[in-house]
A and B are shown apart, each in its own frame.
Chain A
Amino acid sequence: MYSEANERKIDELLTHYPVKRSAILPALFIAQEEHGYVTDEDVKYLARRLEMRVNEVEEVVTFYSMYSRKPIGRYKLQVCRTISCLLVGAERITEHISDKLGVRVGGTTGDGKFTLQEVECLGYCDLAPCLQVNFDYHERITPERVDEIINELK
C-alpha cells in the first residue's frame, strides 16, 4: 500500500507496543504523508494492518485535529489563534494571509496549493505570533515574513 520505506516504518512501529492498535496515531501520519489526507483506503488498510475494526480507526481519525478525511492544500498554513498569540496580533496575520491568497479561514486556494486554518495553542506562546506550515514552525511572524514564506512556496 505504501512505499517500502514507510511499510518498514510501520513494521518497526509495531515493535514498540504490546498491542498493534497503539501504532494507529503514527501510522495515520504515514497515510497522510502518502496521500495528503486519510483516504477510505487508508482507513481500511490500517484497520487490517493493526487488527482494528474500520469504525475504530474512523473514530480515532475524527477525534484528533491533525488528521484530515478530505483533500486539503499541499501547504497547510495554520495560524495560532489562542490567547498569547491573540495579544500580539494573530488576527492581523490571519487577515493578511486571507487577503493575500484570497481564501477564507478553512478554505483552499483554487490551485490546491494552500489551505488556511486557525488552530488552537501551538506551544509557541513566548515566540508569538506563530504560524505553522505543515510541520515547520515560524515564530514572531509579521505580515512581511508571511509574504516571504508564501512567495518561497509558490
Chain B
Amino acid sequence: MTKVLTSRFDLRGGACDIDVYLKTRGYEALAKTLKEFQPDQVIEEVKKSSLRGRGGAGFPTGMKWGFVPKESKRPKYVVCNADESEPGTGKDRDLMRYDPHQLIEGMVIAAYALGARDNYIYIRGEYWYIKEILERAVAQAYERGYLGKDVLGSGFECHLYVHPGAGAYICGEETALLESLEGKRGHPRLKPPFPAVVGLYGGPTVVNNVETLAAVPWIMVNGGEAYKALGTEKSGGTKMFTVSGHVARPGNYEVPMGYPMMRLINEEGGGVAGGRRLKAVIPGGSSVPIITPEEAEKCNMDYESIAAVGSMLGSGGLIVMDETADVFETTRNLTHFYKHESCGWCTPCREGTRWLYKVFDRMARYEGKPGDIELLHDLADKILGKSFCPLGDAAAMPVQSAIQKFRPDFERRIKQTLIQIQAAD
C-alpha cells in the first residue's frame, strides 16, 4: 500500500531533523511547485486530487482554496488547525511529531497557492512537546531557505508561526480557532462570511487540518490524478485512522480510502481484544452516530459508504467496543464531554447539553423515570440543527443513535424496568 502521509514514520523521530527529511525527498515538492507551477495551477492540481478536509467536515480542499479572492486589500493567511481534540482521534499528533517538515512543506505550498505571507499553526496547548518539535523544524526551515523573505530564491516571502491553544475543544471549529488566535475566547463566528473571504484579522483565510496539508507535498510531486487513484472514485487518496478502544493493537494506520472497516479493525487493529465479540463502533470520532457490527460489516472507510449506514467518516477516529461495553455509559461519558466543552455562546447547546447530562446522571444511579429515554431523545432533538455551530449537533447525534441502536442498555437504567428485570430473575 502506498504511504502518502506516513512514509517516514518508521524513522520515528528521525524525520524531525531536516537532513533526514531532505534525504527522503523532502522539500522536493516545494522546489518543483515554485519552479513549475503558477499559484492557480497549484489549486487546480489539488482540485484534481479530490483531497477533502481531514479534520472532520470533509469539505473539498481545492474548492476551499478556490474561494479565496485573488485580490485582497487585507493580508491573506493560511492557518493549520492542529487543535486535534475530537475524542477517538490522535493522528495529527503522530503526523507532527514524526514528520513535522511534511506539514511545513504543505503549508508553504498552500501559502504560495493563495498568496499568503504570514501563516500560523494553531496547536492544542496540551501538545506542548510537539509544539517544541514544530518550532525546531520551523527554525531549520528558515535556516535552509524553505521559509523566509525569499523562499528558495523565488521571490516568494513566507513566514510561519506556531501558536498554542490552551484547552478548548471548540477551538477546533475553524471560526472559533480564528477568534482564539486573535486573543479572544473561542466563540464561533456567524457564517457567512466564510473565513475564505473574511477570516483572520479580517483577511481572507484558509483553515486546513494537519492531515490535509500534510498530503499536499505528495500531491505536488506525484500529481493530483495519482493521489485520487489511490482511493475510490468519490473519496480519493489515503487517510489516517486512529483505532482505539477494545482492540488488540490500537494505533494510527494509513490506508487507502475505501478500505473495508472490518479489515481495518481485524488486521491493522489486531481484532477485538481477548477474542470477545464486537458490540459497537463509533466510526469517525465521538461526534458521529454509533453503528452496529452488522453495519460495520457493510462499511468501507470512505465518505459515501459510512454515510450509507447513517454515520460519518468524520475525523477518522474509530472507537471499537466489545460486548463488555455499556453503550449507556459510553454515551453518558460523551455527554459529559460536550457539556464541558460547550462554549456557552448559544442557548440550545449551553443549556441542552447540561439538561442531557442531568438526565444521564440520574439514570446512571438507576433512578431513571419512565419516559426518560424519550426525554433524552427529545432534548437531543431540541439541540440538533438549532445550535450556532456544529458542536450542538455533535452532542445530539451520538445520543439519538445510541438510543436507537442500543436501547436495552438505556432501559436497564430506568428504575421500574430494573425492578421488573430483578423480579423476573
Chain A residues within CB distance 8 Å of chain B:
16-19, 21-26, 28-29, 50, 52, 56, 59-60, 63-67, 81-84, 86-88, 119-128, 132, 135-137
Contacts and interface: CB of A to CB of B under 8 A. Distances in A.
Contacts of A65: 166-168
Residue among B161, B167, B168 facing the most chain A CB atoms (10 A cut-off): B167
Interface size class of B (residues with CB under 8 A): 35 or more
A64 B250 contact: no
A25 B333 contact: no
Given A21-B183, A135-B129, 17 more contacts: A18-B118, A60-B183, A60-B185, A63-B186, A63-B343, A64-B125, A64-B168, A66-B166, A82-B334, A87-B330, A120-B341, A123-B85, A123-B89, A125-B90, A125-B319, A128-B250, A137-B129
Given A25-B166, A125-B90, A126-B243, A66 B251 contact: no
B164 interface: yes
A16 B186 CA distance: 20
A83 B330 contact: yes
A123 B244 contact: no
Contacts of A22: 163, 181-183
B163 A84 contact: no
Nearest to B159: A16
A132 B246 CA distance: 22
B126 interface: yes
B333 A82 contact: yes
Interface of B: 75, 84-90, 92-93, 118, 124-129, 161, 163-169, 180-186, 201, 242-246, 250-252, 282, 286, 317, 319, 321, 325, 329-330, 333-334, 336-337, 340-341, 343
Given A16-B161, A25-B166, A125-B87, A86 B330 contact: yes
A82 B87 contact: yes
Given A66-B126, A84-B244, A121-B337, A127 B163 contact: no
Contacts of A17: 161
20 contacts: A25-B163, A25-B180, A25-B183, A26-B163, A29-B166, A59-B185, A60-B185, A66-B166, A67-B167, A83-B87, A83-B286, A83-B319, A84-B87, A84-B250, A120-B340, A121-B286, A123-B90, A125-B90, A125-B242, A128-B244
B93 A123 contact: yes
Nearest to B184: A60
A24 B184 CA distance: 8
Contacts of B243: 126
Contacts of A63: 168, 185-186, 343
Contacts of B330: 83, 86-87
A12 to B, nearest CB: 10
A42 to B, nearest CB: 14
A19 B182 contact: yes
B246 A87 contact: yes
A127 B246 CA distance: 12
A16 B163 contact: yes
Contacts of A66: 125-126, 166-167
Contacts of B84: 123
A19 B179 CA distance: 13
Question: What are the 5 tightest A-B residue pairs by CB atom distance, in nearest-first order?
Answer: A65-B167, A21-B183, A64-B166, A66-B167, A125-B244
Nearest to A87: B245
A88 B274 CA distance: 13
A125 B163 contact: no
A66 B330 CA distance: 25
Given A86-B330, A87-B321, A121 B167 contact: no
B345 to A, nearest CB: 11
Nearest to A15: B161
Nearest to B127: A123
A57 B164 CA distance: 16
Contacts of A136: 129
Contacts of A86: 329-330, 333
Given A29-B125, A86-B330, A124-B90, A24 B183 contact: yes
Nearest to A78: B126
B251 A126 contact: yes
B169 A126 contact: no
B321 to A, nearest CB: 7
A82 B126 CA distance: 15
B126 A123 contact: yes
A53 to B, nearest CB: 12
A6 B128 CA distance: 17
A63 B125 CA distance: 14
Contacts of B250: 84, 125-128
Given A19-B182, A84-B319, A120 B337 contact: yes
Nearest to A23: B183
Contacts of B321: 87
Contacts of A50: 183
A23 B164 CA distance: 10
A24 B325 CA distance: 42
